[in-house]
A and B are shown apart, each in its own frame.
Chain A
Amino acid sequence: MSSLAAAEDHQITVPAKVIQPAWVRVMHWINALAMILMIMSGWQIYNASPLFDFRFAKAITLGGWLGGALLWHFAAMWLLMINGLAYLITGLAAGRFRKKLLPITPAGVLSDLKAALTFKLAHDDLTVYNSVQKLLYAGIIIVGVVIVLSGLSIWKPVQLQYLTALFGGYDIARYVHFICMSLICLFLIVHVALAVLVPKSLRAMIIGR
Chain B
Amino acid sequence: MAKRSFLIPGVDKRLLIKDSLKVMPDLTRRRFIVGGASLGALTLLTGCDVVDSSSAESLLAQVSKFNDAVQAWMFNPDALAPTFPESAITKPFPFNAYYEVDDAPEVDGKTWKLEVRGLVDNKKSWTLDELYALPQVKQVTRHICVEGWSAIGSWTGTPLRDFLKLVGADTRAKYVWFQCADSEGYNSPLDMRTALHPQTQMTFKFADEILPRAYGFPMKIRVPTKLGFKNPKYVISMEVTNEYKGGYWEDQGYNSFSGS
List residues of chain A with CB under 8 Å of any chain B CB. 33, 36-37, 40, 44-46, 48-49, 58-72, 74-75, 78, 154-159, 161, 170-171, 174
Supply 13 further A-B pairs (C-beta < 8 A) apart from A59-B38, A155-B260. A33-B44, A37-B45, A63-B35, A64-B35, A65-B36, A68-B33, A71-B64, A72-B60, A157-B142, A158-B81, A158-B225, A159-B76, A170-B142
Taking the nearest CB of chain A, how far is it from the CB of B256, in angstroms?
A: 12
A-B contact list, 20 entries, CB within 8 Å: A36-B41, A40-B39, A49-B147, A61-B38, A63-B36, A64-B31, A64-B32, A64-B34, A65-B35, A66-B146, A68-B32, A68-B253, A69-B36, A70-B255, A71-B60, A75-B59, A154-B148, A158-B82, A159-B74, A174-B148
* Contact B254–A67 (Cβ < 8 Å): yes
The 9 closest A-B pairs by CB, nearest first: A68-B32, A64-B35, A64-B36, A64-B32, A49-B148, A67-B253, A48-B147, A49-B147, A75-B63
* Contact B33–A64 (Cβ < 8 Å): yes
Taking the nearest CB of chain A, how far is it from the CB of B106, in angstroms?
A: 28
Which DSSP category, helix, strand, loop or mixed, fits chain A's interface? helix
List residues of chain B with CB under 8 Å of any chain A CB. 25, 27, 31-36, 38-39, 41-42, 44-45, 59-61, 63-64, 67, 74-76, 79-82, 142, 144-150, 224-225, 249, 252-255, 259-260
* Contact A78–B41 (Cβ < 8 Å): no
Taking the nearest CB of chain B, how far is it from the CB of A21, in angstroms?
A: 22
Within 8 Å CB of B33, what residues of A?
Answer: 64, 68
Within 8 Å CB of A75, what residues of B?
Answer: 59-60, 63-64
* Contact A78–B38 (Cβ < 8 Å): no
Within 8 Å CB of B224, what residues of A?
Answer: 158
User: Complex Cα distance A174/B148, Å?
Assistant: 8
* Contact B260–A159 (Cβ < 8 Å): yes
Closest residue to A68 on the B side, CB-wise?
Answer: B32
* Contact A58–B38 (Cβ < 8 Å): yes
